[in-house]
Amino acid sequence: MLRYMDLKKWGDLVEESVRAVLTEGTCITRDVGGTASTDEFTDAVITKLLEKKKEI
């Protein structure tokens, strides 16, 4: 949706953050074989977003 709203940079940042959390494998939800809650996964993605935002 962010890309559709012409916010490509932010859409890419969200996608990269989600992929990074999944790739790390430390905070995966039950639907993909992990034990984390959706709140824990969301917190991990937000943390990753903030880290990546500092790099921009």
Contact 43, 26 (CB under 8 A): no
The per-residue pLDDT for 55 is 78
pLDDT tens-digit map of 2-56: 999 999 999 999 999 999 999 999 999 999 999 999 999 999 999 999 998 887 7
Residue 16: its pLDDT value, please? 95
Cβ count within 10 A of residue 48:
20
Q: Nearest CA to 47 among 24, 29, 21, 9?
A: 21
Q: What is the pTM of this model?
A: 0.87
At residue 17, the pLDDT reads: 96
d(CA 46, CA 41): 9
Q: How far apart are CA 4 and CA 23, in angstroms?
A: 26
Any idea where the domains of the chain sit in the sequence? 8-55
